[in-house]
Chain A
Amino acid sequence: MKCGDGDTAQQKDLQGLGWCNAVDEGLMVSGINPECPISCCSVIPTSDLTADSACLSREPIPDITLTGAVEPDGGTALLAAPVASHPHPTMSLPKPTTSHPHPAATLPHRATTLLDTAITHLSQQPASPTPALLPVRTLTSQCSRPHAGFSHCIDWGNLAPELVLYIFQFLPLVDRARASQVCHAWTNVFHQPELWRRFEFELSNPATSYLKATHPDLIQQIIKRHSSHLHYVSFKVDSSKESAEAACDILSQLVNCSLKTLGLISTARPSFLDVSKSHFVSALTVVFVNSKSLSSLRIDDTPMDDPSLKVLVANNSDTLKLLKMSSCPHISPAGILCVADQCKGLRELALNYHLLSDDLLLALSTERHVHLEHLRVDVVSEDPTTGEPQIPFRSIRRSSWEALLRHSPSVNLVMYFYLDAEEEFEAFFCDATPVTHLYFGHSVSKAVLGRVGLHCPRLVELVVCANGMQLLDEELICIAQRCRSLTAIGLGECEVSCSAFVQFVRLCGDRLMQLSIMEEVLIPDNHYCSLEDIHPEVSRYLGRPWYPDAMPTW
């Protein structure tokens, strides 16, 4: 079951990518009401809504049966449930407003529009897969009046808190904050734990980044008032050390919270690596020790070290399912091995190749361990400017890969290569490798691609950014013949003759869902003297119109 994607969120989601807190205007709510609990806030990223509603749907409401009437999409089906199965005594929607005058019965206009907006939002959702339509229908059918008259027949002051809560989940934080000023009842709803399960802290210095920052007052509010409600937390930081340090400072204040998910995300340079190791580690330790049920942890590009991994394991070994720690220079193979040994529920793991070992693969493949779903491995050269000698990459034994596959037959093995020197590739693809997604970020030789064709039968996606100046004809054809699961390929600075390319596509056929080939890649030959010639044939094999990727000539 996955979360309802909060289609209300979609609009904003798309325009602003959520995390840039898209809206320019209207962020500031201060000044509307001096008693406003939040003086200022950024619009919550749209995904928050999703998560909020997800949390809500799951957390508080007991004995709710998931009615199959709606999409099997947990989120909103459950949300609808309180309306349907727990009719609140005060939920007198159909009643005319005349019944009993309430202090808040004459609502300010903006509140009316607020609900209207929420409803419009709901009804604007794209057609069928939108579970959120259900509650609207429920409401309106109980109301038994046409939609247009809806807002006039509600006793606003008596609106059930569940309903307000439900509506709030569809509103960005800034709108919730505004709405909370309407009356005490709504303020109470505003502070309901369900609305504060998820938060994304954005820390940046406007002078050095385009990333919009979460207002410090809001951060303080959350720490003071809602930290114990937080379950899903992420920090986005810009390139500055100060932002990363601020993130650590917030983390160390989250003493009474019980996080399930924590993500530290560098949106530009890896600024967490600039924070002193002790500062970083002590902040994380606070979370590890207090949140005993952490299930997802993303700490790529951070100064995490072995001892703090041990703390993580000691406190969260039963719950940890996801661990992403690519490019953490202070972690050793032994450190990650300890995680694999203890955390039997680990399903997803991302790390650098130098942490990968035969022992690790075997530890992940023991009987007591759940099936691994994703393993992401970054193969990165040491920074040549540090002057330290390069440690050659070791090969993983064929038997270790086989053990992993036996235990987790459908594991996705994702490998990202950022290597420059040909010699560095020597450890790879000389024997069967169960890689499924392969990305060559820099130049990769013809020879290596030849080995990929021979030894990667599970390959699903192949992306080659650059190659020398030789045609990759035989290599591609070999890949088409032997990688029978290949569905996506991207070629950047490479060269392939048009004939070989057409043959490649013919061999793969319509299983090629993604075919991203730069125009310059395709070299005309005797059979095809221009790109115009190959396009109909390629389109026919794919069963859809296809064109190479063009770049502007300017």
Chain B
Amino acid sequence: MNFTSSRRFLLQSLEDLDSSLRKLNSRLFVIRGQPADVFPQLFKEWNINRLTFEYDSEPFGKERDSAIKKLASKAGVEVCVQISHTLYDLDKIIKLNDGQPPLTYKRFQALVSRMDPLEKPMDTLSPKVMGACRTPLWDDHDERYGVPTLEELGFDTEGLSSAVWQGGEMEALTRLDRHLERKAWVANFERPRMNANSLLASPTGLSPYLRFGCLSCRLFYYKLTELYKKVKKNSSPPLSLYGQLLWREFFYTAATNNPKFDRMVGNPICVQMPWDRNPEALAKWAEGRTGYPWIDAIMTQLKQEGWIHHLARHAVACFLTRGDLWISWEEGMKVFDEFLLDADWSVNAGSWMWLSCSSFFQQFFHCYCPVGFGRRTDPNGDYIRRYIPLLRGFPAKYIYDPWNAPEAVQKAARCVVGVDYPKPMLNHAEASRLNIERMKQIYQHLSRYRGLCLLASVPSTGNVGFSSYNTAACTFRGNANRGIAAKEAGGLTRRQETKSVSNMGGQQQEAAVLFSPSPPASKPQGSVITVVDVSTLKRDWTSPFGEDTAFPHNKITKHASDRSAVDN
């Protein structure tokens, strides 16, 4: 089942792209092979003089694309790279921040509000624009250049359930319309309140479409702005309107120059934690056998459908890492990468670091309770019953903690805990107590804070604190040649795994047009937000207004000095 659902989504998206191109009397060409092998061949075979592709900001993609670009220039092919997977040129954001990626979202927002307004996206390609342009097609196009099937790619499709999320631009645009309709109808642009319904796959969800390039983030941005102005009578939209897009952008920016962004060791922005390695516990978590129905239901939904609500992500991520199991976030990230449709490399790794409090100056005091959080969200427990039918018979009172149900209730529910459904794999109260202490130790050491205040243990936000994660050991692998990249065409962005699915418009016209080299359109930006929380910067971390904890570091110094004061 590895990666099956995301591959299926990708192939559906390619099919959709192909059918759109057919309407323009063209076709999509999917070339089999490694980009570095096939491109030089094609340059010759097709007599190419121009190659156009989408900029890939991720370290892996940058490396690959720079190789392609070299090959192209060797072959005398002009290369045209456009940024369209992200809203902004990430290097410009970094430059605006004195060469470092911003590590707090607030800082990021402040930078974004100083960026030039985004260009208006291009109109959809029409036959009129195509004019007399023709794509030469071969009779055996389908065999040679058709979109492959899952089987051809070596995936086992037996028993594959039908897709909850249908890939493709058509579907994406339909969803975008619904998404905007609902927003317009609510007329409130705040983040929607969480309820039992929000846990289920929504017909207005867009994240997988953004990830696979079915939906242009700029189009989404532009449509949101348009709608807001219409509803709110031309007042300028707040940055929070674009929350979903900006979070994505934030993580892309943090990752673009950091090849070790997806691991702890050697990653200059990641706090080094002494996580446990525990394959057994990890498997229980990944397979939904923790004995906590809330966690197990979420993991089941993830596997079945490829999407879970972001608060559900918070719940399972917290449970795996700092909340309960004390297992590295890297392990969770890998599981999400495998099953989650919208797991962009940067966003996935970044979110895991965020949720495990491994970076980005997160307060760690709050652990999601694997019982209480679910109960608060969906008091009735319908979500649990949907994904763990075994627990269907439990009354709402016990459905989040079935082990507490009296035996009679368990029997009546025809599900005995410890026999039919696992007992909880650990005692959450105990685990969270220990883990808070661990986090405190780590963060007090990091912030060099000696006081008793738990909240003050986390280094201050803003970019001044950046240095605390990122000091001498900066191990950027010198991706100096930025701005150079090669990429699958067709607006489909996906870093390549072993099988490389590459599509390229048969002629430069088709390929180019998908990247909307558009005329500038002025667009007022959202409200300006002041930058850093200055007061926290003034805090004197070393001032011991009472010492506690972080024992070896602090206590020794204190008592040593006590002692010297007393003895000497």
Binding site for B on A (CB under 8 A): 1-3, 5, 10-20, 22-24, 47, 50-51, 54-55, 58, 74, 198, 200, 204, 207-211, 231-232, 234, 236, 238-239, 260-261, 263, 265-270, 295-296, 298, 300-301, 321-322, 324, 327, 348, 373-374, 376, 378, 380-381, 383-385, 412, 414, 416, 418-420, 436-437, 439, 441-443, 460-461, 463, 465-466, 468-469, 487-490, 492-493, 513-514, 516, 518-520, 524, 529-532, 542-547, 549-554
Contacts and interface: CB of A to CB of B under 8 A. Distances in A.
A554 B313 contact: yes
A488 B454 CA distance: 9
B276 A441 contact: no
Interface stretch (B479-487, B491-499, B504-512, B553-561): B553-561
Contacts of A22: 272, 473
B386 interface: no
15 contacts: A14-B471, A16-B473, A24-B265, A51-B556, A51-B560, A210-B277, A269-B434, A295-B562, A298-B551, A301-B434, A322-B555, A348-B548, A416-B433, A488-B454, A492-B365
A489 B470 CA distance: 28
Interface string B253-289: 0000000000011101001111111100000000000
A443 B362 CA distance: 21
Contact of B542 (A5, A469, A549): A5
Interface in B458-482: 467-473
Contact of B558 (A2, A301, A441, A552): A2
Contacts of A519: 191
Contacts of B247: 552-554
Nearest to A204: B274
Nearest to A319: B563
A24 B367 CA distance: 31
B390 interface: no
A208 B454 contact: no
B369 interface: yes
Majority SS at the chain A contact face: mixed
Contacts of B272: 16-17, 20, 22, 210
Interface string B528-568: 00111111100100101011100111011111111111001
Given A16-B473, A263-B551, A414-B548, A437 B561 contact: no
B539 A513 contact: yes
Q: Which 10 A-B pairs have the closest CB atoms?
A: A492-B366, A3-B557, A211-B274, A544-B535, A58-B564, A514-B455, A234-B552, A267-B274, A20-B272, A47-B553
Contacts of A374: 452, 546-548
Contact of B455 (A47, A300, A461): A461
Contacts of A238: 274, 276
A265 B551 contact: yes
A531 B165 CA distance: 32
Contacts of A269: 276, 326, 434
A260 B559 contact: yes
B441 interface: yes
A168 to B, nearest CB: 19
B432 interface: yes
B560 A234 contact: no
B552 to A, nearest CB: 4
A232 B274 contact: no
Given A15-B473, A209-B277, A465 B310 contact: no
B244 A553 contact: yes
Interface residues of B, number: 104
A239 B351 CA distance: 26
B560 A260 contact: yes
Given A2-B557, A13-B445, A465 B533 contact: no
B363 interface: yes
Contact of B445 (A2, A17, A520): A17
A1 B561 contact: yes
B442 interface: yes
A129 B331 CA distance: 42
A208 B560 contact: no
A21 B556 CA distance: 19
B556 A54 contact: yes
A301 B546 CA distance: 23
A412 B560 contact: no
Given A51-B560, A532-B240, A493 B429 contact: no
Interface string B185-223: 000111100100000000000010000000000000000
A255 B276 CA distance: 32
A461 B365 contact: no
Contacts of A547: 106
Contact of A55 (B274, B313, B560): B560
Contact of A466 (B207, B351, B372, B548): B372
B314 interface: yes
Nearest to A460: B453
B455 to A, nearest CB: 4
Nearest to A385: B427
A385 B428 CA distance: 11
A374 B268 CA distance: 35
B328 interface: yes
A19 B445 contact: yes
B233 to A, nearest CB: 15
A524 B264 CA distance: 38
Contacts of A516: 363, 365, 455
A439 B438 contact: no
